Amino acid sequence: MIRRLASVVLIVLGGIALFAGVLARYADQNVLDPERFAERAVEALDDDGARSEVADVIVVELEKLGADRREVSPVVDRAVGTVAEDPRFRTALAAALVRANRAVLEDEREGVGVVVEDVGDPLRRILGERSPELARLIPLGIDLRVAHTASTGTLVDAARAADDVSGAAALLPFLAAGLLLAGIAVARDRRTAAFGAGLTVALVGALIFGGYLLGREIAAAQPEDEPAQEAARAIWSAVFGGLSELGLILAGAGIVVAFIAAVATRVRGPARA
């Protein structure tokens, strides 16, 4: 009885450590590293929703310069794909994301804007191919405020929570493996314990995958307009998309281990009989 209880406790603790370890390790590598975070977040520009939001930001800036929204919107909508693929624009956006990441995590500032600086030259060149008159309105030093942390609170909260436990990121996966193996080792029936450990790993994977989906929808619910919501989904998917893959891998691996343990237990039963 004591060995069974100890096995259950160790496996449950191993599952908790695995869940926390995967999240902490992933965040440490992909969110807390400003350059890596920016690299992944820029991939959101490949999404139509993010491009629509960028187009809206450009139109707003052109309105400030005296352009008519009804005239410039069609031009910008046709050109935004080229803007999103432009290396200079992507580099400027990555630099803006690095600055915002450091301001939020290192300086712990609130209300940080993601401002893409000095993108007048690529905008003038790309928009000028479609409307030379519109291009002449754009100053070379124009800046675009493409996002604000007030509208991405879920992402900011996730990053700060990961920062709080980053010191344990490297240790938790090893601790989880040790606890799960210990739970199997102390059990009187190790095959049954292996079955339970496999199910625990599968459950952790399912929780990670479900948490990724839930977090994406929570992040998308914070902006008020639809283009910004789609952009939030795209950014969440770009930054945390790897978690969904990890969750599915863990779930699959856990199911395989549990299946093998179940088969071994059934084979052993008739042999003893």
Task: Give me the pLDDT at residue 270, please.
Answer: 45
**What is the SS3 assignment for 24?**
helix
Task: Give me the pLDDT at residue 271, please.
Answer: 41
The DSSP secondary structure of 198-217, one letter per residue, reads HHHHHHHHHHHHHHHHHHHH
Task: Give me the pLDDT at residue 167, please.
Answer: 65
152 close to 219: Cβ distance less than 8 angstroms:
yes
Please give the span between the terminal C-alpha atoms of the chain, in angstroms, as a whole number: 23
208 close to 23: Cβ distance less than 8 angstroms:
yes
- Rounded to whole angstroms, the Cα distance separating 101 from 119 reads 20
247 close to 212: Cβ distance less than 8 angstroms:
yes
Strand partners, 144: 116
Average pLDDT, the chain: 85
Q: Could you give the dihedral angle defined by the CA atoms of residues 233, 236, 239 and 245, in that order, rounded to the nearest 10 degrees?
A: -90
Task: Give me the pLDDT at residue 273, please.
Answer: 32
18 close to 174: Cβ distance less than 8 angstroms:
no
- Rounded to whole angstroms, the Cα distance separating 208 from 221 reads 20
Counting every residue written for the chain, the total comes to 273
Task: Give me the pLDDT at residue 272, please.
Answer: 41
Encode pLDDT of 176-215 as tens digits. 999 999 999 999 898 999 999 999 999 999 999 999 999 8
Low-confidence ranges of the chain (pLDDT < 50): 270-273
